[in-house]
């Protein structure tokens, strides 16, 4: 069974809602899914996963969250090489620049990115609910 570990940071719950929908989609396809707030995530959660899914909203000025997510992402760079990785997150008013930069940063770390990342404006609703579930389904 494919192990999908979803690790996210969320301030107001939008990225967390995305994470739950992605988990739902992956579970539907038979994956064993672990959903973790980044404050609870450990190296082992990266090492054991077949697919690592990382989520952060756009914060600061078009960057991932800086107090917990960025240090975690930095800390896993030695073990992320060759891993299947997918990124997602919510944003407010930008054009997704933070996600493009994050994708290219992970690419530089040697991660095997399985897609270009999923971005949703604020909370997932309407068609973006299905987009999140599909994103999860396609990871498996």
Ligand X SMILES: Cc1cc2nc3c(=O)[nH]c(=O)nc-3n(C[C@H](O)[C@H](O)[C@H](O)COP(=O)(O)O)c2cc1C
Site residues for ligand X, window 110-129 (CB under 6 A)?
Answer: 122
Q: Is 100 exposed, middle or buried (0-12, 13-18, 19+ CB in 10 A)?
A: middle
Q: Cβ neighbours of residue 134 under 8 Å, at least 6 residues apart?
A: 25
Q: How far is the CB of 16 from ligand X (least distance, A)?
A: 6
Q: Say how far residue 19 (Cα) sits from the centre of its chain.
A: 7
Q: Which is nearer to ligand X, 78 or 94 (CB)?
A: 94
**How far apart (Å, rounded) are the C-alpha atoms in residues 38 and 56?**
10
Q: How far is the CB of 53 from ligand X (least distance, A)?
A: 15
Binding to ligand X by CB under 6 A, coded x per residue (else -) over 43-82, reads: --------------xxxxxx--------------------
Q: Does 39 bind ligand X (CB under 6 A)?
A: no
Q: Do strands 32-37 and 84-91 pair parallel, antiparallel, or not at all (unpaired)?
A: unpaired
Site residues for ligand X, window 78-107 (CB under 6 A)?
Answer: 90-94
Residues that bind ligand X (CB under 6 A): 10-15, 57-62, 90-94, 122
């Amino acid at each position: 069974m494919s192990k999908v570990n979803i690790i996210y940071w969320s301030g107001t719950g939008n990225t967390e809602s995305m994470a739950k929908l992605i988990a739902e989609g992956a579970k539907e396809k038979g994956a064993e899914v672990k959903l973790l707030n980044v404050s609870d995530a450990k190296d082992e959660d990266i090492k054991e996963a077949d697919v690592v899914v990382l989520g952060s909203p756009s914060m600061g000025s078009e960057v991932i969250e800086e107090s917990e997510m960025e240090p975690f992402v930095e800390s896993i760079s030695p073990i992320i090489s060759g891993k299947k990785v997918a990124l997602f997150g919510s944003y407010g008013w930008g054009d997704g620049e933070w996600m493009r930069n994050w994708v290219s940063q992970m690419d530089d770390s040697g991660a095997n990115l399985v897609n270009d990342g999923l971005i949703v404006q604020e909370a997932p609703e309407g068609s973006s609910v299905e987009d999140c579930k599909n994103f999860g389904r396609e990871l498996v």
